[in-house]
Structure formats: C-alpha cells, structure tokens
Amino acid sequence: MATIADPSALLDDDLLERFRARAAGYDEANAFPHDDFDELAALGYLKAAVPRELGGLGLGVEAIAALQSRLATAAPATALAVNMHLVWTVTAALLAARGDDSLRLVLDDAAAGEIFAFGVSEPGNDLVLFDSVTTATPTGDGGYTFTGTKIFTSLSPVWTRLGVFGRNDEDPAAPSIVHGFLRRADGGHESLDDWDTVGMRATQSHTTRLVEAPVAASRVVRILPVGPSADPFVFGIFAAFETLIAAVYRGIARRALDLAVGSALARDSRRTGLPTSSDPVVRWRIADAAIDLDGLEPQIDRIAADLDGLVDHGADWFPKLVGLKVRATETATRVVDRAVTVAGGSSFRSTSELGRLYRDVLAGRFHPSSSDSAHETVAVRWLGPVG
C-alpha cells in the first residue's frame, strides 16, 4: 500500500483552520458537518483506502491513521464520523492485500462516491460481532431481509450504504450471522433522528430501525457461525476499527496538549507575578500529559505498520488491537483532563475548545471494545477461557 509522508500535504493548515472554526457551531447546533464532509470528498479523502487503479489514493493504514489524527486536532466529531466510512474501505483493502476480494464491492462503490456507514452496534448486545439481536431472514434467492435496531449509526444524514448484520435461526441447531450491505435507496430503514449527546455531536450517530430491509444476494459478504470467529472478515473489521478509533483520540490528545501549553504561556500568576508556565505544578501536569502522549504515538504507528506489512501476530492480534483502543482512549482522557486543569475555569465555558474536547473525549469509552471486553479478550489469551 502507498504511504503519505506528510499528512499536511493533503490536510493543509488552512483547511484545518476552516474545520476548527466550524466545529463549535456544529457542536452547538447539534448538526452534521456538511461543509467539512463536502471538502473532504472533493479532496478524495473518502477514497483514501481505495486502490489507485480504481481512482483512489491507495493509502495504507499507517498513512490513513496519521491523516485521521491530524483531522481530529481540528474537528474531532468530523474525524470520528468519517472514520466509519474509512473502517469499511480499510477493511476491504486489508482483505484484498491478503488475497481476499470478498469486499471488492465496497471498494467499487466507494470509488463511485458511495458513502458507507456502520450498522453494527445494537442495544443490549455486548457480544458485538459474535451474535446479533437483529434477525436476518432468507428471501429464497440468496438474499436476506434484516429487522432490528442499530445504534450509534454515524453519518446518518449522508450514508448511501449501510453495513449490517443479523442472526439467522432458520436452522436452530446451527444459527448463523449474516453480513451484508444495505443500499439506502432500497428502503426498509428509518433514522430516528435522536442524536442529542454530551459530546461528538456532529457525528449525528442516530438510531437506525430496520424493518425487513432488503440486501440482495450479491451484497451478502459473509455468513459465519454464531460465536467468536477468527475469519479474515472479522479480523479486518477489528483491525480497521480499533486502529482508526485510536488515531482519532490521539488527535484529540495532541490538540488538548497544545491548548494547555498555550494557556500556560499566555497567563501570568497574580500571586507570583511570573508566567503560569513557571509554576512547578503546571509544569508537572503538562509534562505528565506529554509523557502519556509520547508513549501513545508509536503504539498506533506500529500496529498500523504491521497491518500494512502483513505481519502475522496470530492469536496475539485481537489482544493487541483491543489493547490499543483502550490505551488510546484512556490516554486521551488523561491528557485532556490535565489540559483542562492547567487552563482553569475558562475551559468550563461551553464556548471553550478545551471544554468541547473534554466532552468529546468521553465518547472513547463507549466505542467497542469496551475496557471490560478488552480485558476479557486479553485474559483469555494469557489464561485461557474460564473453566
């Protein structure tokens, strides 16, 4: 896969300043960042993982992660929303690089300008990809209809393709999980327009209700047994999702640290008459945040580079991926917390960028894999299954 040496070559400073200037307004209005999205589409950003021969940028995971981190320093919610489209295209590219063309339709559709969203999360389903409370009913011609509720459907206002999955109990002795891609124009879906959250508001991740939503046989990409699976499709989703989520929160941490430094340099202490940056407690807090962030940077780069390099970590891949996501989101939370403490009461205002980052970073704990799930995955790797 191709690389990009400098993310600023695609996402230049002027673009980031435009995005940063709009971010507060999208957050306040609880609105989708249409202007951001249109600019990214015009740049070919949504085709970052699409091979060059199909008209894309042909970038690898490391390059895309670097871009997403840079984008998140200006507009975290825009970056997180775009992440869901990129997860599908990166998954398709990862599989193709490993000789599996089962998601070629994703790359073809993305090359044609289609927008992919992630219809995976479900209320009450803590098994994520390994089971589903959505039903998948065979139509008799190789296709399926899907009925159920999907939550956290980012890009709700603009997606044209929705990756969905559901459980088929036609054979009770061998239930299966069916994965496919719903076309928006085919109907059977409703967005509940219910996204009104503390942070990451511009993602517009509405609840999606599916009622006999049709997916043709040509758009069914996997039928797997219920339960944990090491299928390349499942691996690809985990790899793309966890790595790119980590990249977004790395960007948030970078911006928070910059804002904390700027605040410390810009203020003087009335008590001492010295710049706040001379206060030993402030210096410790900023140093502590910088140490945390410095430790996170190479972790994301290494995992992304290993994915690009087809490194085979075998049974260690899933623990590495879920561990990366947890470390990245928890590190970002600590860095933002330190930054808010340094900046002081001004960051408590709704108009404060740091205040918005403080709210946005909270979303990290809700993305799969949760801390509980990640620890279970790692424990199984080291201790084996319970019993």
129 vs 183: CA distance, rounded Å: 21
Give the distance between the most distant pair of CA atoms in the chain: 79
Give the model's pLDDT for residue 17. 97
Q: What residues contact residue 71 under an 8 Å CB cut-off, 6+ apart?
A: 11, 16, 19, 78, 79, 82, 251
Q: Report the half-sphere exposure of 275 (CA within 13 A, side-chain side).
A: 9
Nearest to 82, CA basis, from 220, 221, 202, 227:
202
Q: Please state the pTM of the whole predicted model.
A: 0.95
Contact 284, 291 (CB under 8 A): no
154 vs 341: CA distance, rounded Å: 31
Q: What residues contact residue 319 under an 8 Å CB cut-off, 6+ apart?
A: 377, 378, 381
Q: Mind spelling out the 3-state secondary structure of 110-168?
A: HHCCCCEEEECCCCCCCCHHHCCCCEEEECCCCCEEEEEEEEEECCCCCCCEEEEEEEE
120 vs 367: CA distance, rounded Å: 11
Contact 182, 119 (CB under 8 A): yes
Each residue's pLDDT expressed in tens, for the chain with a length of 387 residues? 555 557 778 999 999 999 999 999 999 999 999 999 999 999 999 999 999 999 999 999 999 999 999 999 999 999 999 999 999 999 999 999 999 999 999 999 999 999 999 999 999 888 889 999 999 999 999 999 999 999 999 999 999 999 999 999 999 999 999 999 999 999 999 999 999 999 999 999 999 999 999 999 999 999 999 998 889 999 999 999 999 999 999 999 999 999 999 999 988 777 777 788 999 999 999 999 999 999 999 999 999 999 999 999 999 999 999 999 999 999 999 999 999 999 999 999 989 999 999 999 999 999 999 899 999 999 999 999 897
Residue found under tokens 């894999």: 369
Q: Provide long-range contacts, Cβ within 8 A and 24+ apart, for 7-16.
A: 7/63, 7/66, 7/67, 7/69, 7/70, 8/70, 10/43, 10/45, 10/67, 11/45, 11/67, 11/70, 11/71, 15/39, 16/70, 16/71, 16/73, 16/74
Helices (H), the chain: 13-29, 34-43, 61-72, 76-97, 104-111, 232-266, 280-308, 317-343, 353-360, 371-383
162 vs 221: CA distance, rounded Å: 13
